[in-house]
Amino acid sequence: MSKPRILIVEDNIDNYELVRFLLERAGYDTFWAHSGREGIDMSKAKRPDLILMDLSLPEMDGWTATERIKADLETKHIPIIALTAHTLPGDRKRALEAGCDDYLSKPMNIELFTETVEKNLARAKHKRKSGPII
């Protein structure tokens, strides 16, 4: 069985390295996009099982990138977790309205981070097994 593949969309190399370390230590395969536009392209090309999306990105912000990924029939099923320093009261709501399936704030609570990744991967796997309801 192949390992779940997670796309990390993050422009800060230190944040990326920490997230990559935690995910790979937990047994996931990871790959990286450093901008919102690259995140969209990689979501189509690589078809990850999950996307971790920073919201403050160069070229195109994470809200817009999420909206575009979720608007595309080929990628809309991919769960997206906002992983962001945007922690004002309306930021979580805005991320969820853009299409994020979950929201985590920085600095990260590592236990909550791990639980949230696992929960979203399990939910996505269950949806794939049960298929569409007709």
Which whole number is the average pLDDT over 41-54?
97
Give 8-21 pLDDT, tens digit per residue: 999 999 999 999 99
pLDDT category at 99 given cuts 50, 70, 90 is very high
Domain residue ranges of the chain, discontinuous segments joined by +: 5-130
Which H/E stretch holds residue 103? strand 102-105
23-36 pLDDT, tens digit each: 999 999 999 999 99
User: Which strand ranges, in their side-by-side order, compose the sheet holding 5-9?
Assistant: 29-33, 5-9, 50-53, 80-84, 102-105
Percent pLDDT > 70 in the chain is 94
pTM of the model: 0.92
Q: What fold characterizes domain 5-130? A: Rossmann fold (3.40.50)
Give Rg (Cα) of the chain: 14
Crossing angle, helix 62-71 and helix 36-46, to 10 degrees?
30
Bond prior to 107 in cis (omega within 30° of 0)? yes
